[in-house]
Amino acid sequence: MTTYNWDLIERLLHEVQNGASSFTPRPYAEQFAAEKATEGEQTENLDHLKAVAGEYEKLLLARGYIEPRPEEQGGTGSNYILTPRGSSLLSLIDSSIPGNDHPRQVLDEQEDALDEVTFDEVASKAQIA
């Protein structure tokens, strides 16, 4: 069973959504760790967290959660936009939305929650949200 750091994925998806001119997951992981430390939360080893963020970028791209921003929308080859699947994922795991724990729990119960078929099936169920 694959487990994911939903807080880190949420941070990465928000960075994509905010339209950063260049998507750089390692510094986002560093900022994420600093924010968690400020909140008094323990985080993973920083180097490991940065590596995981880079792997998440590859995974989110390969599985259709993010895609390169089109040139006509300011795409540079190193920035992304959320796909409909990515927007759906963000809406399920967004910590600013009350009750986001249940969708995260349902996702955690899957063999691989970010597998495209699995995610699309789980996300289509009204009771998850």
Q: How do the pLDDT tens digits run along the chain, 129 residues long?
A: 789 999 999 999 999 998 767 888 999 999 989 988 888 888 778 899 999 999 999 999 999 999 999 988 888 878 899 999 999 999 999 888 776 678 899 999 999 999 999 999 999 885 665
**Residue 81, SS3 per DSSP:** strand
1 part of a folded domain: no
Domain encompassing residue 72: 6-127
For the entire predicted model, the pTM comes to 0.90
Question: What are residue 24's phi and psi, to 5 degrees?
Answer: -130, 95
54 part of a folded domain: yes
* Count of the separate structural domains present in the chain: 1
108 part of a folded domain: yes
74 part of a folded domain: yes
118 part of a folded domain: yes
**Residues shown for the chain:** 129
62 part of a folded domain: yes
